A and B are shown apart, each in its own frame.
Chain A
Amino acid sequence: MAAVGKSVGMPLGERLALIAVILLAVLWLLPLMWVTAVSLKNNTELVVNPGAVFTAPYTIQNYIDLTKTSALGTWFRNSLIVSLSHTVLVLIVSCLAGYGFARIEFPGRNAVFIFSLVGLAIPGQAIIVPLHSFFNAFDMHNTYAALIIPGIATPFGIFLMTAYFRAIPAEIEEAARLDNASRFKIFWTIALPLAVPAMATLGIFTFLGTWNDYLWPLISATRPEMYTLTVGLAATQTNIDQSEGLGYLMAQSVFAGLPMLILYIFFQKYVVRAVAGAAIR
């Protein structure tokens, strides 16, 4: 309503754009609203009449059923540990590498930088077999390490942080160097705080990607106690044809998506900036 109120006095073009944006937002929200509404419906009622989703009664029974899956807490904890650890490690590696490429002169710097970016062109699925063999050789499957380590040297992260550090004026660091500050101190106390917006962007994307990852946890974490939430929830599908139990299925989706929603609420400024490409100044 506030947006509509503010639109009074806007040029016609902007008003039309605003209406279009609102329509697109509604269009985007509809599936989410549908998923949530279905998750609050009785499963049998949905089979008899899919249109029942629009009318009461609603129930939280599907969510109660979800909590009866005894391993749910373990899977949630695994996802949290893996996602947070992976995100922290990606940030450490990307920031160090990015700062190095942006600020430190060393022989072959450009060649190494370009080589590290080649990874952007290689899809993760293409290296899944050697990756699996590698971790197998070290007997590391079904461990947190196997779930966390792959992908911590992400080409995207290195590229993003390099670009961001390069955009920070070198004069700021030169002043510190004149005061005999060490390279690491300059990195830690000057460059890193200035790079927080880019780190937030990278961190959010990394966390989202890791939380939603399915393929690698599926083949690496084969013991149920090591499942992440995506693999665990998929295993609780009770019917091969998905011919019923739609409400329960949607409750699973909502549950799995909640942390993402919470993350977005707290970090929406950075997410929006990241999507808009404003992280790289």
Chain B
Amino acid sequence: MKRLKALTMLGIVAGLLATTGAQAQTEVRFARFFGACEADFGTNLDPALPSNECGVITTLTNIFNAENPDIKVVPEIVEWGPYYEQLAGRIATGDVPDISVMHGDMLINFVNRGLIEPLDAALEEAGIDVNDIAEGPRENVTVDGQIYALPQDFVTWLWHTNSGLMAEAGLGEVNAPIYPTSADEMLAQARQFKEATGKPYLALTLDPTSAARTLYTLMLQNGTPLFPESTKVIDLHSDAAKAAITLLKDMIDEGLLVFKPDWATAFTDFSGGASGNMLGGTWQIGDLVRLSEQTGGQLDGYVAHPFPTVFGEPAVWTSSHSWVMLKGGAGSPEKRAASLKFLKFLFDHNIHWARTGHLPMRTSLMTSPEFTSMPYRLDFASVPPIAQHIPKDVLQQRIIMPFIGEELLAIFQGQKSMDDGIAAAEERVNTYLARLR
């Protein structure tokens, strides 16, 4: 009987201890997009394994949870499209996540409404060296001298290249293609490529935002900003804008640049060797690397290269993913401490994020062998100094860029003259921005 009592007491004590242990675990609610990939990486702890955003962030979260048994980071995943609508809904209901991912170009919309906590003190408390954050991303998240987010990367626009096809056309060697250094050279190389291979030199999707990012890049290279006077008014009547549009239109008319209806088709065709280059973003590198390894043959010598400088000044469109702490989230000291610990972990492991294709945001990593030896990337170290965000004060960038892109595509496809398309883009964007408070 005594033995039974002792065992019962032992059981109760063990149960209480287990309960206490479970209660001691601080939960960090982590709102993000990037998708869910439990099937592939749900239990993975090897950061070298994944090569896309979903895989890397899932793995990093797994590692953090494994290393910190007293904290549990719980991903709350929403698809990209309605992410911000849901986030707004959550803020309205007071169901605020502790840490949220936010595109750099969305930040100002939340900062202006006073919805985000400034992080200067928090970053210092967490032991994050803000001086190690590259100037571009750091400046982009700084408003009125206060840092509102921890940037995670440089997201830039670039060229995906099938260097095997380029070599076939006499444009460099496999894994070492040559790129144009002027608009005339670009046209000449594109013609040479088409003549040698019978294929288009460049492919772009009919995604309006892609067209707008391309124009933005070319205008910057031509020394003219999209917002020359005010962050409320775009100007596409400049010579720089017209030269960029003319270059692209000429290439389209000669069949040197072709459009693909969507990214799935673009990926399929590019993987199948349908064009020499494809305009795209850093987030696609990981997937294309995997495809080039898995498909074999037709995507011969895949490389990613910064957007070539064809108008004089090196420059390229960029944006950043960043982590924010919304007001109302991480309410208790325990949650705040746990959240900051997770931010520090992401900062410390920033190099792994570069496996996705994005550039790390830490200056100290730019020249590290870990980054410079990553395969398939050519000359990426040149990107940070030339990467230019859309001015951070421009509101609703995700709405106005498609406006510009839609009118550009109308010009490229012959539905509108250049003058009409430019006027329409300016009218739509400027009218919209003027209405915003």
Contact = CB atoms under 8 A, between A and B. Distances in A.
Interface of A: 44, 46-50, 64-66, 68-70, 132-133, 136, 141-142, 218-220, 222-224, 231, 234-244, 246
B364 interface: no
A70 B42 contact: yes
Nearest to B268: A47
A244 B92 CA distance: 35
A238 B284 CA distance: 12
Interface in B39-55: 39-40, 42, 52-54
A239 B77 contact: no
A238 B76 contact: no
16 contacts: A48-B272, A64-B39, A65-B40, A70-B42, A142-B93, A218-B82, A218-B85, A218-B89, A222-B76, A237-B35, A238-B54, A240-B283, A241-B263, A243-B284, A243-B287, A244-B267
A235 B93 contact: no
B79 A237 contact: yes
A76 to B, nearest CB: 15
B39 A219 contact: no
A73 B86 CA distance: 22
A280 B198 CA distance: 63
A69 B93 contact: no
A169 B79 CA distance: 53
Interface in B72-86: 74-80, 82, 85-86
B36 A235 contact: yes
Contacts of B287: 239, 243-244
Interface of B: 33, 35-40, 42, 52-54, 74-80, 82, 85-86, 89-90, 92-95, 262-264, 266-268, 271-272, 283-284, 287, 291, 294-295, 298
Given A218-B82, A219-B86, A234-B79, A68 B38 contact: yes
Given A47-B295, A68-B38, A68-B39, A224 B77 contact: yes
Nearest to A231: B78
Contacts of A141: 89, 93, 95
A49 B94 CA distance: 48
A47 B79 CA distance: 22
Contacts of A66: 39
With most chain B CB atoms within 10 A of its CB, the pick from A70, A132, A218 is A218
A6 to B, nearest CB: 43
Contacts of B95: 141-142, 222-223
Contacts of A47: 267-268, 271, 291, 295
Contacts of A236: 35-37, 77
A70 B90 contact: no
Contacts of B267: 47, 241, 243-244
B37 A238 contact: yes
B301 to A, nearest CB: 17
Contacts of B76: 222-224
A240 B294 CA distance: 21
A177 B116 CA distance: 67
Contacts of A65: 39-40
Contacts of A238: 35-37, 52, 54
Contacts of A242: 262-264
Contacts of A48: 268, 271-272, 295, 298
Contacts of B291: 44, 47, 244
A90 B11 CA distance: 49
Nearest to A68: B39
A240 B86 contact: no
A198 B297 CA distance: 60
Contacts of B35: 235-240
Given A68-B42, A222-B93, A237-B35, A246 B80 contact: no
Nearest to A140: B93
A237 B81 CA distance: 11
A128 to B, nearest CB: 10
A174 to B, nearest CB: 52
A214 to B, nearest CB: 9
A69 B86 CA distance: 21
A21 B42 CA distance: 47
Nearest to B81: A234
A240 B38 contact: no
Contact of A70 (B33, B38, B53, B94): B38
Contacts of B80: 237, 240
Contact of A69 (B36, B79, B284): B36
Contact of B85 (A49, A219, A243, A244): A219
Contacts of B92: 132-133, 136
Given A136-B94, A238-B54, A240-B53, 11 more contacts: A66-B39, A69-B38, A136-B93, A141-B95, A218-B82, A218-B85, A224-B77, A238-B37, A239-B54, A242-B262, A243-B267
Contacts of B39: 64-66, 68-69
Contact of B284 (A142, A223, A237, A241): A241
A132 B89 contact: yes
A65 B263 CA distance: 23
A149 B119 CA distance: 40
Given A47-B267, A246-B264, A239 B52 contact: yes
7 nearest A-B residue pairs (beta carbon): A241-B263, A68-B39, A65-B39, A219-B89, A238-B35, A243-B263, A243-B267
A30 B287 CA distance: 30
A82 B233 CA distance: 47
A200 B198 CA distance: 61
